[in-house]
Chain A
Amino acid sequence: MDFILEGLRQALNLIVSLDQEVLGIAFLSLWVSTSATIFASFIGVPLGFVIGTTQFPGKHMTITFFNTLLSFPTVVVGLLVFAFISRQGPLGFLGILFSPTAMIIGQFILAIPIITALTIAAVQGVDRRVRLTALTLGANRMQTSITVLNEARFALMAAIIAGFGRIVGEVGAAIMLGGNIRNYTRTITTAIALETSKGEFGFAIALGIILMIVSFAVNILFRYFQQRGT
Protein backbone atom coordinates (compact mmCIF):
# COMPACT_ATOMS: atom_id res chain seq x y z
CA MET A 1 0.00 0.00 0.00
CA ASP A 2 2.88 2.35 0.91
CA PHE A 3 4.37 2.23 -2.54
CA ILE A 4 1.05 3.32 -4.04
CA LEU A 5 0.79 6.28 -1.65
CA GLU A 6 4.42 7.13 -2.30
CA GLY A 7 3.68 6.95 -6.05
CA LEU A 8 0.73 9.33 -5.64
CA ARG A 9 2.84 11.77 -3.61
CA GLN A 10 5.56 11.73 -6.29
CA ALA A 11 2.93 12.14 -9.01
CA LEU A 12 1.42 15.22 -7.39
CA ASN A 13 4.93 16.69 -6.95
CA LEU A 14 5.69 16.13 -10.63
CA ILE A 15 2.43 17.76 -11.71
CA VAL A 16 2.60 20.70 -9.30
CA SER A 17 6.26 21.40 -10.14
CA LEU A 18 5.35 21.30 -13.88
CA ASP A 19 8.03 18.69 -14.57
CA GLN A 20 9.35 19.30 -18.08
CA GLU A 21 9.45 15.65 -19.10
CA VAL A 22 5.88 15.00 -17.93
CA LEU A 23 4.67 18.13 -19.73
CA GLY A 24 6.59 17.23 -22.89
CA ILE A 25 5.01 13.76 -22.99
CA ALA A 26 1.52 15.16 -22.37
CA PHE A 27 1.99 17.80 -25.06
CA LEU A 28 3.20 15.23 -27.63
CA SER A 29 0.21 12.97 -26.85
CA LEU A 30 -2.25 15.81 -27.34
CA TRP A 31 -0.51 16.98 -30.51
CA VAL A 32 -0.43 13.53 -32.13
CA SER A 33 -4.04 12.70 -31.22
CA THR A 34 -5.40 16.13 -32.15
CA SER A 35 -3.65 16.04 -35.55
CA ALA A 36 -4.92 12.51 -36.24
CA THR A 37 -8.47 13.54 -35.21
CA ILE A 38 -8.44 16.60 -37.48
CA PHE A 39 -7.23 14.58 -40.49
CA ALA A 40 -9.71 11.77 -39.74
CA SER A 41 -12.55 14.31 -39.53
CA PHE A 42 -11.78 15.57 -43.03
CA ILE A 43 -12.34 12.01 -44.30
CA GLY A 44 -14.85 10.61 -41.80
CA VAL A 45 -17.40 13.46 -41.77
CA PRO A 46 -17.89 13.73 -45.58
CA LEU A 47 -17.78 9.94 -45.90
CA GLY A 48 -20.37 9.49 -43.15
CA PHE A 49 -22.53 12.21 -44.71
CA VAL A 50 -22.52 10.54 -48.14
CA ILE A 51 -23.23 7.10 -46.68
CA GLY A 52 -25.93 8.44 -44.37
CA THR A 53 -27.79 10.53 -46.92
CA THR A 54 -27.62 8.55 -50.16
CA GLN A 55 -29.20 5.28 -51.20
CA PHE A 56 -26.95 2.70 -52.86
CA PRO A 57 -26.74 -1.09 -53.05
CA GLY A 58 -24.86 -2.50 -50.08
CA LYS A 59 -25.55 0.51 -47.84
CA HIS A 60 -26.46 -1.63 -44.83
CA MET A 61 -23.36 -3.77 -45.32
CA THR A 62 -21.22 -0.62 -45.49
CA ILE A 63 -22.70 0.69 -42.23
CA THR A 64 -22.16 -2.72 -40.57
CA PHE A 65 -18.56 -2.68 -41.85
CA PHE A 66 -17.86 0.68 -40.21
CA ASN A 67 -19.58 -0.40 -37.00
CA THR A 68 -17.38 -3.51 -36.95
CA LEU A 69 -14.27 -1.37 -37.42
CA LEU A 70 -15.15 0.47 -34.20
CA SER A 71 -13.76 -2.44 -32.25
CA PHE A 72 -10.76 -2.98 -34.52
CA PRO A 73 -7.82 -3.84 -32.21
CA THR A 74 -5.31 -1.00 -32.07
CA VAL A 75 -2.33 -3.38 -32.28
CA VAL A 76 -3.67 -4.79 -35.56
CA VAL A 77 -3.83 -1.27 -36.99
CA GLY A 78 -0.29 -0.75 -35.68
CA LEU A 79 0.80 -3.98 -37.33
CA LEU A 80 -0.76 -3.07 -40.70
CA VAL A 81 0.76 0.41 -40.78
CA PHE A 82 4.08 -1.03 -39.58
CA ALA A 83 4.05 -3.49 -42.51
CA PHE A 84 3.63 -0.62 -44.97
CA ILE A 85 6.14 1.87 -43.53
CA SER A 86 8.84 -0.49 -42.22
CA ARG A 87 12.12 -0.51 -44.18
CA GLN A 88 11.03 -3.51 -46.31
CA GLY A 89 7.46 -2.22 -46.76
CA PRO A 90 6.12 -0.48 -49.88
CA LEU A 91 6.31 2.93 -48.16
CA GLY A 92 9.60 2.20 -46.37
CA PHE A 93 11.43 4.78 -48.49
CA LEU A 94 9.57 7.54 -46.59
CA GLY A 95 11.59 6.71 -43.47
CA ILE A 96 8.76 7.62 -41.08
CA LEU A 97 8.73 4.53 -38.87
CA PHE A 98 9.26 5.39 -35.17
CA SER A 99 8.27 9.01 -35.69
CA PRO A 100 5.28 11.13 -34.59
CA THR A 101 4.13 11.04 -38.25
CA ALA A 102 3.81 7.25 -38.10
CA MET A 103 1.81 7.54 -34.86
CA ILE A 104 -0.49 10.13 -36.45
CA ILE A 105 -1.10 7.77 -39.40
CA GLY A 106 -1.97 4.89 -37.06
CA GLN A 107 -4.30 6.99 -34.92
CA PHE A 108 -5.82 8.57 -38.04
CA ILE A 109 -6.80 5.08 -39.26
CA LEU A 110 -8.22 4.23 -35.83
CA ALA A 111 -10.30 7.42 -35.64
CA ILE A 112 -11.86 7.23 -39.11
CA PRO A 113 -14.37 4.39 -38.38
CA ILE A 114 -15.72 5.97 -35.19
CA ILE A 115 -16.06 9.43 -36.77
CA THR A 116 -17.66 7.92 -39.90
CA ALA A 117 -20.07 5.66 -37.99
CA LEU A 118 -21.17 8.43 -35.64
CA THR A 119 -21.53 10.88 -38.56
CA ILE A 120 -23.79 8.38 -40.34
CA ALA A 121 -25.93 8.16 -37.18
CA ALA A 122 -25.86 11.95 -36.81
CA VAL A 123 -27.08 12.75 -40.34
CA GLN A 124 -29.64 9.93 -40.29
CA GLY A 125 -30.99 11.46 -37.08
CA VAL A 126 -31.59 14.84 -38.71
CA ASP A 127 -35.27 15.63 -39.24
CA ARG A 128 -36.12 14.90 -42.90
CA ARG A 129 -37.94 18.23 -43.05
CA VAL A 130 -34.56 20.00 -42.93
CA ARG A 131 -33.75 18.89 -46.48
CA LEU A 132 -37.25 19.66 -47.76
CA THR A 133 -37.26 23.08 -46.11
CA ALA A 134 -33.87 23.97 -47.57
CA LEU A 135 -35.05 22.88 -51.03
CA THR A 136 -38.32 24.83 -50.83
CA LEU A 137 -36.36 27.93 -49.87
CA GLY A 138 -34.29 27.60 -53.03
CA ALA A 139 -31.10 25.95 -51.75
CA ASN A 140 -29.13 23.98 -54.33
CA ARG A 141 -27.81 20.50 -53.64
CA MET A 142 -24.58 21.71 -52.01
CA GLN A 143 -26.35 24.34 -49.88
CA THR A 144 -28.89 21.71 -48.80
CA SER A 145 -26.09 19.34 -47.74
CA ILE A 146 -24.39 22.10 -45.75
CA THR A 147 -27.72 22.89 -44.06
CA VAL A 148 -28.20 19.23 -43.08
CA LEU A 149 -24.65 19.12 -41.65
CA ASN A 150 -25.28 22.37 -39.83
CA GLU A 151 -28.43 20.97 -38.23
CA ALA A 152 -26.38 17.94 -37.13
CA ARG A 153 -23.52 20.10 -35.85
CA PHE A 154 -23.73 19.10 -32.20
CA ALA A 155 -23.88 15.40 -33.01
CA LEU A 156 -20.94 15.88 -35.41
CA MET A 157 -18.89 17.58 -32.70
CA ALA A 158 -19.72 14.62 -30.44
CA ALA A 159 -18.54 12.24 -33.21
CA ILE A 160 -15.21 14.07 -33.55
CA ILE A 161 -14.68 14.18 -29.79
CA ALA A 162 -15.48 10.45 -29.55
CA GLY A 163 -12.81 9.86 -32.23
CA PHE A 164 -10.28 11.81 -30.17
CA GLY A 165 -11.32 9.93 -27.02
CA ARG A 166 -10.66 6.59 -28.72
CA ILE A 167 -7.14 7.43 -29.85
CA VAL A 168 -5.74 9.55 -27.03
CA GLY A 169 -5.90 6.55 -24.69
CA GLU A 170 -4.68 3.86 -27.08
CA VAL A 171 -1.27 2.28 -26.60
CA GLY A 172 -0.95 -0.50 -29.22
CA ALA A 173 -0.46 1.53 -32.40
CA ALA A 174 1.46 4.29 -30.61
CA ILE A 175 4.10 1.90 -29.21
CA MET A 176 4.46 -0.12 -32.45
CA LEU A 177 4.71 2.89 -34.77
CA GLY A 178 6.39 5.40 -32.44
CA GLY A 179 8.77 3.06 -30.67
CA ASN A 180 8.44 4.94 -27.35
CA ILE A 181 11.59 7.03 -27.95
CA ARG A 182 12.32 9.47 -25.11
CA ASN A 183 11.68 13.15 -25.98
CA TYR A 184 10.55 12.17 -29.47
CA THR A 185 7.72 9.62 -29.64
CA ARG A 186 6.97 8.92 -26.00
CA THR A 187 3.28 9.56 -25.36
CA ILE A 188 1.31 9.36 -22.11
CA THR A 189 0.15 5.79 -22.69
CA THR A 190 3.48 4.41 -23.91
CA ALA A 191 5.31 6.16 -21.07
CA ILE A 192 2.89 4.70 -18.49
CA ALA A 193 3.55 1.19 -19.86
CA LEU A 194 7.32 1.73 -19.75
CA GLU A 195 7.58 3.49 -16.38
CA THR A 196 5.33 0.88 -14.69
CA SER A 197 7.56 -1.92 -15.98
CA LYS A 198 10.59 -0.03 -14.57
CA GLY A 199 8.85 0.37 -11.19
CA GLU A 200 8.65 4.20 -11.55
CA PHE A 201 5.12 4.40 -10.19
CA GLY A 202 5.23 8.10 -9.38
CA PHE A 203 5.99 9.07 -12.95
CA ALA A 204 3.41 6.58 -14.32
CA ILE A 205 0.70 7.76 -11.91
CA ALA A 206 1.39 11.44 -12.77
CA LEU A 207 0.86 10.66 -16.45
CA GLY A 208 -2.17 8.53 -15.58
CA ILE A 209 -3.72 11.48 -13.71
CA ILE A 210 -3.11 13.78 -16.70
CA LEU A 211 -4.68 11.22 -19.06
CA MET A 212 -7.69 10.91 -16.74
CA ILE A 213 -8.09 14.70 -16.71
CA VAL A 214 -7.94 14.75 -20.53
CA SER A 215 -10.47 11.88 -20.76
CA PHE A 216 -12.73 13.58 -18.25
CA ALA A 217 -12.64 16.86 -20.19
CA VAL A 218 -13.30 15.00 -23.45
CA ASN A 219 -16.29 13.20 -21.93
CA ILE A 220 -17.74 16.40 -20.52
CA LEU A 221 -17.46 17.96 -24.00
CA PHE A 222 -18.97 14.84 -25.59
CA ARG A 223 -21.96 14.89 -23.24
CA TYR A 224 -22.38 18.63 -23.76
CA PHE A 225 -22.57 18.32 -27.54
CA GLN A 226 -24.77 15.22 -27.38
CA GLN A 227 -27.25 17.06 -25.16
CA ARG A 228 -27.22 20.17 -27.37
CA GLY A 229 -28.01 17.91 -30.32
CA THR A 230 -31.13 16.37 -28.79
Chain B
Amino acid sequence: MKEPLFTIENLSQVFDNRLVLNIPRLSFEEKKIHAITGPNGSGKTTLCNILGLLLKPTTGKIWYQGEMVYENGGLPERLRKKITMVHQSPFLFHTTVGKNLAYGLKVRNYPRSQRNQKVEAFLKLMGIEHLRHQQGTRLSGGETQRVAVARALAIDPEVLILDEFTANVDRNYVKNIEGVIQDVFRQKNITIFLVTHDENQACRIAHTVTHLIDGELQDHSYITH
Protein backbone atom coordinates (compact mmCIF):
# COMPACT_ATOMS: atom_id res chain seq x y z
CA MET B 1 0.00 0.00 0.00
CA LYS B 2 1.20 3.49 -0.86
CA GLU B 3 2.51 5.65 2.00
CA PRO B 4 0.27 8.64 2.84
CA LEU B 5 1.65 12.04 1.90
CA PHE B 6 1.66 13.23 5.51
CA THR B 7 1.32 11.17 8.66
CA ILE B 8 1.14 12.92 12.00
CA GLU B 9 1.48 11.21 15.36
CA ASN B 10 1.03 12.65 18.86
CA LEU B 11 1.46 16.16 17.54
CA SER B 12 1.14 19.10 19.90
CA GLN B 13 1.93 22.78 19.64
CA VAL B 14 2.29 25.02 22.66
CA PHE B 15 2.53 28.82 22.48
CA ASP B 16 3.18 30.74 25.72
CA ASN B 17 2.27 27.70 27.87
CA ARG B 18 -1.03 27.36 25.98
CA LEU B 19 -1.81 24.18 24.07
CA VAL B 20 -3.06 25.33 20.66
CA LEU B 21 -2.96 22.05 18.77
CA ASN B 22 -3.24 18.45 19.90
CA ILE B 23 -3.63 15.73 17.29
CA PRO B 24 -3.04 12.10 18.33
CA ARG B 25 -2.97 10.71 14.78
CA LEU B 26 -3.87 11.98 11.33
CA SER B 27 -2.85 11.19 7.78
CA PHE B 28 -3.44 12.82 4.41
CA GLU B 29 -3.35 11.03 1.07
CA GLU B 30 -1.42 12.54 -1.79
CA LYS B 31 -3.00 14.04 -4.91
CA LYS B 32 -6.22 15.08 -3.19
CA ILE B 33 -7.72 18.39 -2.10
CA HIS B 34 -7.90 18.45 1.68
CA ALA B 35 -9.91 21.11 3.47
CA ILE B 36 -9.07 22.13 7.02
CA THR B 37 -12.00 23.86 8.65
CA GLY B 38 -12.86 25.25 12.04
CA PRO B 39 -13.68 28.50 13.80
CA ASN B 40 -11.12 31.23 14.59
CA GLY B 41 -8.42 30.04 16.96
CA SER B 42 -9.09 26.36 16.25
CA GLY B 43 -5.48 25.74 15.18
CA LYS B 44 -6.02 25.59 11.40
CA THR B 45 -3.20 27.95 10.49
CA THR B 46 -0.88 26.36 13.06
CA LEU B 47 -1.51 22.95 11.47
CA CYS B 48 -0.80 24.45 8.05
CA ASN B 49 2.43 26.05 9.24
CA ILE B 50 3.47 22.65 10.60
CA LEU B 51 2.56 20.89 7.33
CA GLY B 52 4.36 23.65 5.42
CA LEU B 53 7.44 22.93 7.58
CA LEU B 54 7.55 26.53 8.72
CA LEU B 55 6.95 25.52 12.32
CA LYS B 56 8.51 22.61 14.15
CA PRO B 57 5.86 21.17 16.49
CA THR B 58 6.49 21.20 20.23
CA THR B 59 6.09 17.41 20.35
CA GLY B 60 5.16 14.64 17.94
CA LYS B 61 6.34 13.08 14.72
CA ILE B 62 5.62 13.91 11.09
CA TRP B 63 6.33 11.67 8.12
CA TYR B 64 6.34 12.91 4.53
CA GLN B 65 5.89 9.99 2.13
CA GLY B 66 7.23 7.67 4.81
CA GLU B 67 10.29 9.82 5.66
CA MET B 68 10.41 11.25 9.16
CA VAL B 69 10.73 15.01 8.64
CA TYR B 70 12.76 16.20 11.61
CA GLU B 71 15.00 13.13 11.83
CA ASN B 72 17.88 14.62 9.87
CA GLY B 73 18.82 18.27 9.71
CA GLY B 74 18.79 18.88 5.95
CA LEU B 75 15.43 17.24 5.21
CA PRO B 76 13.03 20.08 6.09
CA GLU B 77 14.95 22.44 3.79
CA ARG B 78 14.88 19.90 0.94
CA LEU B 79 11.16 19.16 1.44
CA ARG B 80 10.34 22.85 1.64
CA LYS B 81 11.24 23.07 -2.05
CA LYS B 82 8.29 20.74 -2.75
CA ILE B 83 5.76 22.32 -0.40
CA THR B 84 4.55 25.86 -0.73
CA MET B 85 2.04 27.96 1.10
CA VAL B 86 -0.04 31.06 0.43
CA HIS B 87 -0.91 32.88 3.62
CA GLN B 88 -4.14 34.68 4.35
CA SER B 89 -2.41 38.05 3.99
CA PRO B 90 0.31 37.18 1.52
CA PHE B 91 3.43 39.29 1.28
CA LEU B 92 4.68 40.48 -2.08
CA PHE B 93 8.31 41.54 -2.25
CA HIS B 94 9.10 45.21 -2.96
CA THR B 95 9.58 44.63 -6.65
CA THR B 96 7.46 44.01 -9.74
CA VAL B 97 4.80 41.31 -9.94
CA GLY B 98 6.87 39.54 -12.61
CA LYS B 99 9.91 39.40 -10.33
CA ASN B 100 7.73 38.18 -7.47
CA LEU B 101 6.63 35.26 -9.61
CA ALA B 102 10.20 34.59 -10.70
CA TYR B 103 11.50 34.45 -7.09
CA GLY B 104 10.86 30.75 -6.43
CA LEU B 105 12.31 29.88 -9.83
CA LYS B 106 15.40 31.98 -9.24
CA VAL B 107 16.19 30.26 -5.93
CA ARG B 108 15.92 26.98 -7.84
CA ASN B 109 18.42 28.26 -10.43
CA TYR B 110 16.07 28.17 -13.42
CA PRO B 111 17.65 29.91 -16.42
CA ARG B 112 16.23 33.35 -17.21
CA SER B 113 14.44 32.27 -20.43
CA GLN B 114 12.63 29.46 -18.63
CA ARG B 115 11.75 31.80 -15.77
CA ASN B 116 10.20 34.28 -18.18
CA GLN B 117 8.15 31.58 -19.89
CA LYS B 118 6.77 30.25 -16.61
CA VAL B 119 6.06 33.73 -15.25
CA GLU B 120 4.10 34.54 -18.39
CA ALA B 121 2.17 31.26 -18.27
CA PHE B 122 1.12 31.63 -14.62
CA LEU B 123 0.21 35.30 -14.96
CA LYS B 124 -2.06 34.22 -17.79
CA LEU B 125 -3.50 31.34 -15.79
CA MET B 126 -4.56 33.75 -13.03
CA GLY B 127 -5.70 36.41 -15.50
CA ILE B 128 -3.23 39.02 -14.27
CA GLU B 129 -0.92 39.51 -17.27
CA HIS B 130 -1.62 43.24 -17.11
CA LEU B 131 -0.01 43.44 -13.64
CA ARG B 132 3.38 42.02 -14.67
CA HIS B 133 5.31 45.31 -14.47
CA GLN B 134 3.42 46.79 -11.52
CA GLN B 135 4.98 47.05 -8.06
CA GLY B 136 3.77 44.14 -5.91
CA THR B 137 3.22 46.35 -2.89
CA ARG B 138 0.77 48.65 -4.71
CA LEU B 139 -1.88 46.06 -5.55
CA SER B 140 -5.32 45.60 -4.01
CA GLY B 141 -5.98 42.72 -1.58
CA GLY B 142 -7.59 40.58 -4.27
CA GLU B 143 -4.83 41.22 -6.80
CA THR B 144 -2.20 40.45 -4.16
CA GLN B 145 -3.92 37.13 -3.42
CA ARG B 146 -3.96 36.18 -7.09
CA VAL B 147 -0.32 37.10 -7.57
CA ALA B 148 0.61 35.06 -4.48
CA VAL B 149 -1.26 32.01 -5.80
CA ALA B 150 0.40 32.40 -9.22
CA ARG B 151 3.81 32.74 -7.51
CA ALA B 152 3.22 29.55 -5.53
CA LEU B 153 2.04 27.59 -8.57
CA ALA B 154 4.97 28.78 -10.71
CA ILE B 155 7.37 26.57 -8.75
CA ASP B 156 5.42 23.40 -9.61
CA PRO B 157 4.97 22.30 -6.00
CA GLU B 158 3.96 18.80 -4.94
CA VAL B 159 1.91 20.32 -2.13
CA LEU B 160 0.12 23.67 -2.18
CA ILE B 161 -1.26 25.01 1.10
CA LEU B 162 -3.77 27.83 0.81
CA ASP B 163 -4.62 29.59 4.06
CA GLU B 164 -8.02 31.34 3.74
CA PHE B 165 -7.20 31.88 0.10
CA THR B 166 -10.45 33.65 -0.78
CA ALA B 167 -10.75 35.74 2.39
CA ASN B 168 -9.56 38.95 0.71
CA VAL B 169 -10.93 38.20 -2.73
CA ASP B 170 -13.98 39.93 -4.17
CA ARG B 171 -17.07 37.72 -3.72
CA ASN B 172 -17.64 37.65 -7.50
CA TYR B 173 -14.15 36.29 -7.97
CA VAL B 174 -14.36 33.48 -5.35
CA LYS B 175 -15.99 31.00 -7.77
CA ASN B 176 -13.42 31.95 -10.39
CA ILE B 177 -10.44 31.30 -8.10
CA GLU B 178 -12.02 28.04 -6.86
CA GLY B 179 -12.24 27.02 -10.51
CA VAL B 180 -8.57 27.89 -11.01
CA ILE B 181 -7.64 25.73 -7.98
CA GLN B 182 -9.63 22.80 -9.37
CA ASP B 183 -8.08 23.28 -12.83
CA VAL B 184 -4.61 23.35 -11.30
CA PHE B 185 -5.42 20.21 -9.34
CA ARG B 186 -6.57 18.42 -12.47
CA GLN B 187 -3.72 19.62 -14.68
CA LYS B 188 -0.84 19.32 -12.22
CA ASN B 189 -2.12 16.43 -10.13
CA ILE B 190 -0.78 17.90 -6.88
CA THR B 191 -1.98 17.80 -3.28
CA ILE B 192 -3.80 20.91 -2.12
CA PHE B 193 -4.65 21.89 1.45
CA LEU B 194 -7.31 24.56 1.88
CA VAL B 195 -7.82 26.31 5.15
CA THR B 196 -11.29 27.80 5.19
CA HIS B 197 -14.04 29.02 7.45
CA ASP B 198 -16.52 28.23 4.77
CA GLU B 199 -17.77 24.66 5.16
CA ASN B 200 -19.74 24.95 1.90
CA GLN B 201 -16.59 25.87 0.06
CA ALA B 202 -14.80 22.91 1.65
CA CYS B 203 -17.58 20.54 0.52
CA ARG B 204 -17.64 22.09 -2.97
CA ILE B 205 -14.03 21.50 -3.85
CA ALA B 206 -12.29 19.22 -1.34
CA HIS B 207 -12.01 15.42 -1.18
CA THR B 208 -11.54 15.33 2.61
CA VAL B 209 -12.51 17.70 5.38
CA THR B 210 -10.57 17.91 8.64
CA HIS B 211 -12.48 19.83 11.27
CA LEU B 212 -10.66 21.35 14.26
CA ILE B 213 -12.11 22.98 17.36
CA ASP B 214 -9.87 24.45 20.07
CA GLY B 215 -6.87 22.64 18.63
CA GLU B 216 -8.53 19.24 18.86
CA LEU B 217 -9.39 17.05 15.90
CA GLN B 218 -13.20 16.80 15.68
CA ASP B 219 -13.62 15.08 12.36
CA HIS B 220 -11.63 13.82 9.40
CA SER B 221 -13.89 12.52 6.67
CA TYR B 222 -14.17 11.98 2.94
CA ILE B 223 -16.61 13.96 0.83
CA THR B 224 -18.59 12.16 -1.83
CA HIS B 225 -19.07 14.44 -4.83
Contact = CB atoms under 8 A, between A and B. Distances in A.
Contacts of A143: 107
A133 interface: yes
Interface stretch (B78-86, B171-179, B185-193): B78-86
B104 A138 contact: yes
A147 B84 CA distance: 17
B91 interface: yes
Contacts of A18: none
Interface magnitude class on chain B: 20 to 34
Contact of A138 (B54, B87, B89, B155): B155
A42 B155 CA distance: 34
A201 B138 CA distance: 53
A139 interface: yes
A138 B107 contact: yes
Given A129-B89, A132-B87, A137 B103 contact: yes
A151 B87 contact: no
A136 B52 contact: yes
Interface string B105-122: 001100000000000000
B141 interface: no
B190 to A, nearest CB: 15
B152 interface: yes
A134 B94 CA distance: 13
Contacts of B87: 129, 132-133
B151 interface: yes
Contacts of B93: 130, 133, 147, 150-151
B91 A137 contact: no
Contacts of B151: 137
A137 B54 contact: no
B84 A137 contact: yes
A129 B100 CA distance: 14
Given A132-B54, A136-B54, A136-B152, A141 B77 contact: yes
Contacts of B52: 136
Provide the main secondary structure of the chain A interface: helix
Provide the main secondary structure of the chain B interface: loop
Interface in A117-163: 127, 129-130, 132-141, 143, 147, 150-151
B80 A138 contact: yes
Contacts of B91: 127, 129-130, 132-133
A71 to B, nearest CB: 32
Given A129-B87, A129-B89, A143-B107, A136 B80 contact: yes
B60 interface: no
Contacts of B94: 151
A134 B103 CA distance: 8
B90 interface: yes
B64 to A, nearest CB: 15
B107 A137 contact: yes
Nearest to B74: A140
Contacts of A130: 91, 93
B54 A135 contact: yes
Interface string A83-121: 000000000000000000000000000000000000000
Given A133-B87, A135-B54, A136-B52, 5 more contacts: A132-B87, A133-B90, A137-B84, A138-B155, A140-B107
Interface of B: 52, 54, 77, 80-81, 83-87, 89-91, 93-94, 103-104, 107-108, 151-152, 155
27 contacts: A129-B91, A130-B93, A132-B54, A132-B87, A132-B91, A133-B87, A133-B90, A133-B91, A133-B93, A134-B103, A135-B54, A135-B80, A136-B80, A136-B83, A136-B84, A136-B86, A137-B103, A137-B151, A137-B152, A138-B104, A138-B107, A138-B108, A138-B155, A140-B77, A147-B103, A150-B93, A151-B94
Nearest 10 Cβ contacts at the A-B interface: A129-B91, A137-B104, A138-B81, A136-B85, A139-B107, A133-B91, A143-B107, A136-B84, A138-B107, A137-B103
